[in-house]
Amino acid sequence: MIELYHLFQPPKQTDIKKWNIVKFLVENGFRYYHIWEQTLRDVNGKIYGYQNYAKYPESMKDAKEFVELYKEQAITE
């Protein structure tokens, strides 16, 4: 069992496609916590802030892009 953040809205039990998307995201370290669209960095590349929450994807194609785009924010433990 894996604990998911309160943002998780479970799909209908019979919606296998959406459950596969959930499984894919969780396996890649995204447990439905806030993901930032933009990371603000200074001229040396040091992070000094974040801006705007990203919306979790609803298709497998978008989920694959999401994982690639936000991989540095994934939980890897």
Task: Work out the angle between the directed axes of helices 16-27 and 60-69 (0-180°, nearest 10).
Answer: 10
pLDDT tens digits, one per residue of 6-46: 889 999 999 999 999 999 999 999 999 999 887 777 888 88
Q: Is the pLDDT of residue 47 over 90?
A: no
Per-residue model confidence (pLDDT) at position 31: 95
Per-residue model confidence (pLDDT) at position 45: 80
Where in the chain are the domains?
16-73
Q: What is the DSSP string of 3-57?
A: ---TT--PPPTT-HHHHHHHHHHHHTT--S---EEEEEE-TTS-EEEEEEEPPPP
Per-residue model confidence (pLDDT) at position 39: 73
Please tell me the pTM assigned to this model. 0.82
* Over residues 54-69, mean pLDDT: 96
